[in-house]
Structure 1
Amino acid sequence: MSSSPEPVLDANLAVALNALLAEQSVTRAAARLHTSPAAMSRTLARLRRILQDPLLVRAGQTMVPTPRAQALRDEAASVVRRLGALLTPGAGVDPAVLRGTFTLQAADLVGAALAPGLLRLAGQEAPGVSLRFRAEEWEAGPALRDGRIDLEIGSIDHVDPETRVEELVTLRMAAAVRPGHPLTEGPLTPDRLAAAEHVVVSRRGRFTGPLDTALAERNLHRRVAVVLPGHLAAMTLAARSDVVCLVPTAPPGAADSPPDRRRHRPRPAPPRHPAAPAAAGHRHGVAPPPGGRRRPPLAPRRRPQDPSRIRRPDRLRHSGNSGLPEGRGLRT
């Protein structure tokens, strides 16, 4: 049993009908809708065929509505008003009335740095919102497309058409070692850094990164003893052994993070030390840094049409500018 196809509705006909019934003149209706009298006359003829009624009839020098047109006048005006409301951009979402849970995917170190600031912002601006941090998966994985997360914060290699990335801040990478490590004695040079054993943080198990590119430009090569998926585990290993761990540090002018940062003396990094730009929001390309490849370690991929998430990258930028934790027993 076949069903007849639904009729194709032209909303412009409702707008034209409303103008014709309100103006009771083809010429004035055309001027109202910024079209020509000839085009409006053709539209009136089309409306007459559809409604099977003349709608407007000439009476001397004027046109008057038929009884059917008079009955349709208020309804046509109401339909046009509803169409206008339907097609008008919505007002911005008020965070104070939001209720629900926002799920963010971030590296352990980044999550630890962002959580305090985001909790303060949520308490001040969106008290009905709860935050859920999930452990990282692969960069640019399917979690956002699948609806399992609202925001991805991580290193993004490529751009998907349905996602956006906005750069937040550039974090300088520093070499972290245990107190008393040989690298803490004397200046830290590229040769001494390359001669040490390293732990690399990579979700994909990669043994190389921007530091290797920078060292290769000086004909130097480092030995990577172990690869771990998170910074906190790598920092713990560095605190208990002689491996060197690269960790992101706060941008210049950022507040110190309590209380471990105050306990450790910063050390100068070797020349052309790699930097990592933190990005969030609308996905876009990031330029490479001197001596190494830049990738955005903070990049929320989100659905563009979701108004409740529009302001989040900007709020991340403010909450993420606090210092990053360095970990107990480490010196940078």
Structure 2
Amino acid sequence: MNLSGPAMSRTLGRIREAFGDPILVAAGRKMVPTPHALELQARIHEIVGTASELFRPENPIDLAAMEPQFTIRTNDLFIGAFGMALLGRLQTKAPRCRLRFAPDGDDDLDMLREGRIDLYIGATIALRPEIRTQALFDLTFQVLARAGHPIFETTITPQSLVAHGHIVVSRRSQWIGPIDRVLGEMGLSRTIALVVPTYYSMIETLRFSDMIMPVPDIVARNLPLETIGLKVFDLPFPIEPVTLFQAWHPRHDRDFVHRWLRQEVLATARNARPIGEG
């Protein structure tokens, strides 16, 4: 801020008076923000970002002359199904564009707020009201099993589904999911023998097992099933689809390059699966 020590002290004093809060307090040899200051941080960041937009030139931006780099937090489902297609679309207009995918985690909201990621793409994050979202498409579930699995010998029913061990995908290592809630309403429960963090982690070895693995249909659709010795079947009961969405901080609402990124993500996803398609 290019202020002397006394000037900084006077400025901090005015800020404290305006907000009715110490804002910064001593902790040993350093100053740390108060809880109220931390609450204000995200809002002030947004206000500063909005004000910065006023000084952006209105002239069209030449994407071909730029070297944009984006960081997107998402899971292996989106990366495997859309990663290369998205990069291809981006590089059509910005040949030197680079794309970095990072695994989703428990601090996704903070990463968006602090500008450490450009987008979050997923279905499970608990969002705050200020975060912008846009639906991409709906996921329905199917089940993978090895070719020749005993489940294919008769009509597949809820009872035959729970007669075999299941592999569940959960990045948070949860045993129970939407399928279990539906089964519970029918008085049934399944045996979950294995929980894994990613959708593609068990694909290669599933063909050597009699376990079965529910996956979003877009995973099964992008696999060479016959080549890897797997077959897919529909769940023998209806289940609510899950909506995949992209999320961003509102400071990017009017940013031309970020808006272009969001448009390309939407176009890439909808070309593969229009919203509302089951």
Q: Please give the range of the TM-score, normalised by the shorter of the 2 chains.
A: 0.5 to 0.7
Do the aligned residues in 2 keep the contact of 1:211 with 1:274 (CA within 8 Å)?
no
Match of 1:304 among 243, 251, 254: 251
1:65-98 deviation per Cα after TM superposition (whole angstroms, max 9, x unaligned): xxxxxxxxxxxxxxxxxxxx95788456553343
Provide the C-alpha distance between the structure 1 equivalents of 2:203 and 2:240, rounded to a whole number of angstroms.
Answer: 18
Distance across 2 between alignment mates of 1:86 and 1:302 = 17
Residue 309 (structure 1) shift: 1.3
Partner SS state of residue 166, structure 2: strand
The match for 1:317 among 251, 262, 266 is 266
Structure 2 residue 246 is matched with structure 1 residue 269: no
1:246 partner letter:
P
Identity %: 28
Q: What is the aligned counterpart of 1:170 among 138, 152, 176?
A: 138
- The Cα RMSD (Å) is 3.2
Q: Output aligned runs, 1:209-228, within 5 Å.
A: 209-228=177-196
| 2:145 and 2:232 in contact (8 A); partners too | no
Partners of 2:93 and 2:56 in 1: CA distance = 26
TM-score, normalised relative to structure 1: 0.58
- Count of residues in correspondence between the two structures: 222
Matching residue of 1:183: 151
> Structure 2 CA distance, aligned partners of 1:169 and 1:237?
29
Please state how far the C-alpha of 1:304 moved relative to its aligned partner.
Answer: 3.3
Q: Secondary structure at the match of 1:153?
A: strand
Match of 1:22 in 2: none
- In the alignment, what sits opposite 2:23? none
Q: Which residue of 2 aligns with 1:260?
A: 224
**Are the aligned partners of 2:137 and 2:244 in contact in 1 as well (CA < 8 Å)?**
yes
Aligned position for 2:126: 158
1:118 and 2:86 equivalent?
yes
Matched, 1:135 2:103: yes
Matches within 5 A, 1:1-332: 90=58, 93-138=61-106, 140-250=108-218, 257=222, 260=224, 266-280=232-246, 300-305=247-252, 306-321=255-270
- Larger-Rg structure: 1
| Residue number in structure 2 paired with 1:75 | none
Shift, 1:307, TM fit: 3.3
Task: Provide Cα deviations, 1:95-145, integer angstroms capped at 9, x if missing partner.
Answer: 334313111122113201111211220221221211111122237453333
Structure 1: how far apart are the matches of 2:201 and 2:64? 37
Unaligned runs of 5+ in 2: 12-52, 274-278
Closer/same/farther in 2, CA of residues 210 and 318 from structure 1, 3 Å limit: same
Distance 2:106 2:140 in 1: 23
- Does the residue aligned with 2:140 lie in a helix, a strand or coil? strand
Task: Tell me the distance in 1 between the aligned counterparts of 2:104 and 2:208.
Answer: 25
User: CA, structure 1 residues 267+86, in 2 after alignment: closer, same or farther (shift >3 Å)?
Assistant: closer
2:151 counterpart letter in structure 1:
L
Displacement after TM superposition at 1:161 (Å): 3.8
Say which SS state the counterpart of residue 110 (structure 1) adopts.
helix
More strand by share: 2
Give the AA of the match of 1:250. I
CA distance in 1, matches of 2:57, 2:131: 21
Give the 3 Å change call, closer, same or farther, for CA 277–173 of structure 1 in structure 2.
same
Structure 1: how far apart are the matches of 2:120 and 2:102? 9
- Where 1:128 maps in the other structure, the secondary structure is coil
